[in-house]
Amino acid sequence: MILPLDDLISNEDNVYALTCAVIRRALQITITGDEEVEENRGKIVSTAIKQVLSKKVEYRIEE
C-alpha cells in the first residue's frame, strides 16, 4: 500500500491532532477489524493513516 503523501503534505490540520486521530483509529481497527486491512496485507497503521487523510474517518478535538 502506498501512503497518500500528497494528502499528507497538503494537510493543513494540526499535526499533533492528526497523529492522535491515526493512533486512535489504529487502536479501533485492532480491536474491531476493518475490511481494508486484509486488502493492505495486515498493515493497520497504514490503513489508519489512509482513512484519516482521505476523510473516510473524521475526527474532532474536544475541549
Length reported for the chain? 63
Q: Which three cell numbers stand for residue 35?
A: 475490511
Give me the mean pLDDT over the 27-37 stretch: 88
Handedness of CA 35, 38, 44, 48 (dihedral sign): negative
pTM over cut 0.75: yes
Q: Give the per-residue pLDDT at 24.
A: 93
pLDDT in tens, 8-28: 777 777 888 888 999 999 999
In the DSSP assignment, the letter for residue 13 is S
Q: How far is CA 36 from the centre of its chain?
A: 12
Better-scored residue on pLDDT, 9 or 42: 42
Q: How far apart are CA 27 and CA 8, in angstroms?
A: 20
The average confidence (pLDDT) of the chain is 83
Domain boundaries, the chain: 5-53
